A and B are shown apart, each in its own frame.
Chain A
Amino acid sequence: MRKTLVVYLMSGPETPALAEAAVDAGADLVELGFPFSDPLADGPVIRRAAERALAEGMRTGACLELLAETRARLPETPLVPMTYSSLLEAYGWERFAEEACAAGATSLIVADLPAGDRPELRRIQLVAPTSTDERIRLAAAGTDGWLYLVTVTGTTGARDDLSPALAGLVDRARRATELPLYAGFGISTPEQAHAAAQLADGIVVGTSALEAAEKGAEALAAYVESLRGALDGAAVPA
């Protein structure tokens, strides 16, 4: 079965074109970062990207417009805004969800809104190696379509090796749900992508995708192709 490749991009004027390039190169789902000034879950690369995006005026309204533009280019691809509670608090929780949906969002990720809180807000839940089995069940029961496995005890950003905690987390999550499990945080290389996909149903890349995207659509496409190849089992480096 095809493994799902999720690519995270920070909102910016180039985002619709970058998202299209990523999908053409083999991405199955695109997360769109709506930047927040104080993103606790993010390492330095995504933080700096958020800081730049805010300096460029990427506030909630502008991000929703970019989402709609991206949707116009990619009618079939799931698009998921990823952000923090403070933006929803300011915009209005329901209003944010409604307008994101109207702009083409497939679902939503709120990095600092744990499972169990605001269950009425449909979103993709995250679980981590530190989550108890009870919390994994709670997250699985409330999640929207798939479960996001945070592979590391830590923030976003590339690591040298695939987290050894992933295997155990996948086992525990499988016992809680039959929904697809996509692994993210700390996955950057094709080797790591391949290894993670042996365990999970898909992978999420953020930090390294942003670094590639900063070099332009071609660099992003080349990076996404390398991951697609690794996931498909073709051209897997030894």
Chain B
Amino acid sequence: MELTYGEYGGRFVPETLIPALDELEAGWHEAWADEAFRAELDELGRSYAGRPTPLTLAERFAPGKRLYLKREDLLHTGAHKLNNALGQALLALRLGKRRIVAETGAGQHGVAAATVCARFGLDCVVYMGAEDMRRQRPNVERMGLLGAEVCAVEFGTRTLKEATSEAIRDWIGSVEKTHYLIGSCVGPQPYPEIVRELQAVIGREARGQILELEGRLPEVAIACVGGGSNAIGLFAGFLDDSEVRLVGVEAGGAASLGSGRTAVLHGSRSSVLADADGQVLDADSISAGLDYPGSGPEHAFLRDSGRAEYVTTSDEEAVEAFRRLARTEGIVPALEPAHAFARVAELDEQLVLLNLSGRGDKDLEEVLAR
């Protein structure tokens, strides 16, 4: 097995899926090398999604620093997830797959998947843990409005881990006509690569924007990490700039990079919250989007190589940052990026770029209830 990211990655899936992954990998490489495909995606980004998203200087939230927010919360559907969903929908069309299956935690990826399926006339089935459906009711309703079928997963923790397993099982049974639109940079090869490339637009844009505004690169690029797609998208713009410190922020109860061990989950080898027997443990976070015991294999690789570092934020700190950003900047962030905001004040550096990956409308009920 070719492990793509050092000792991480790979394809730990039942044989049934291997030919589809081969087909996907070949189709992806061909599409990504095709200028027409890239041009169509760029045009959809501009005219449908609202790219480029701006950078906002958050002076009142972070006095004494120059904190720039990459405003993925302003993207259509309210989160960075649409970047990936649009690209994979185009890929599915190219591969002749008319049915899309997806998993969702916070509901942001589910909404993005439902949105692109509506836009392209594809059938859409979204698996979502019953507990997450309770926490993220507005997104469940949005998916329904967009024409997606939302399947409640009543198994195990009833959160993102089980929803992902169910989506993969659906795909095992429907692989000939279905594309699995995974939402993060996890899963079997080539998914971590596909999601990273489709989210890299975040880092690419932000790099150009901050150079224009400040005439220099940021000292730190910081983002929240669940599976890690918004962070890898941001980091991708700065990986070769060794002077830019890369910081990923995990939820304290879901620190798969901070306190995980090497295990196999959802088709790849990565850093996972697991016990000594390789059994995957339950994550626990107020943020449904970070409530996942795994992480993308590239993040595990970046951690081991020392290129990126990973820290944690507690539920309470995230809620405090959520409220403070609303009061100081007039921006209600999603609970996921609120974890990154909570770590800004203690950074030694002055020029900071933070990926504001999504907006917080979906989290109002959860936060106001505390």
Contact = CB atoms under 8 A, between A and B. Distances in A.
B56 interface: no
A40 B14 contact: yes
Interface string A151-162: 011110000000
Interface stretch (B26-34, B102-110, B270-278): B270-278
Of the four ranges (under 10, 10 to 19, 20 to 34, 35 or more), the interface on chain B belongs to 35 or more
Interface in B247-293: 261-267, 269, 274-280
A152 B279 CA distance: 27
A181 B226 CA distance: 43
Interface in A109-149: 111-118, 125-132, 135, 139
A135 B19 contact: yes
A89 B263 contact: yes
Nearest to A148: B15
Interface residues of A, number: 44
A182 interface: no
A38 B16 contact: no
B37 interface: no
A87 interface: yes
Nearest to A47: B155
B162 to A, nearest CB: 8
B114 to A, nearest CB: 24
A41 B266 CA distance: 11
A37 interface: yes
Interface string B155-170: 1100001000100110
Contacts of A139: 15
Contact of A86 (B13, B18, B169, B264): B264
B11 interface: yes
A186 to B, nearest CB: 11
B175 interface: yes
Interface in A153-200: 153-155
Contacts of B165: 38, 40
Contacts of B265: 38, 86
B1 A59 contact: no
B280 A128 contact: no
Interface of A is mostly: loop
A208 B155 CA distance: 20
A77 interface: no
Interface string B170-181: 001111100000
B5 interface: no
B62 interface: no
Contacts of B263: 86, 89-90
Interface string A77-113: 0000000111111110000000000000000000111
A130 B274 contact: no
B15 A114 contact: yes
A90 B278 contact: yes
A48 B20 CA distance: 28
Nearest to B269: A89
Interface in B1-22: 1, 10-20
B280 A112 contact: no
User: Which among A87, A117, A118, A130 has the highest number of chain B CB atoms within 10 Å?
Assistant: A130
A40 B155 CA distance: 13
Given A130-B175, A155-B169, A90 B276 contact: yes
Contacts of A45: none
A89 B13 contact: no
A88 B18 CA distance: 20
A51 B267 contact: no
Contact of B19 (A38, A88, A131): A131
A155 B16 CA distance: 9
B176 A153 contact: yes
A213 interface: no
Contact of A60 (B10, B17, B176, B277): B277
A86 B270 CA distance: 10
Contacts of A128: 14-16
6 contacts: A37-B280, A40-B266, A84-B264, A90-B263, A91-B277, A154-B16
Interface of A: 36-38, 40-41, 43-44, 47, 51, 54, 59-61, 84-91, 111-118, 125-132, 135, 139, 150, 152-155
Return the 7 tightest CB-CB contacts between A and B, nearest first: A90-B278, A154-B173, A86-B278, A117-B1, A86-B264, A128-B16, A59-B277
Given A90-B277, A112-B12, A139-B15, 7 more contacts: A44-B155, A54-B279, A112-B14, A112-B264, A114-B18, A130-B15, A155-B173
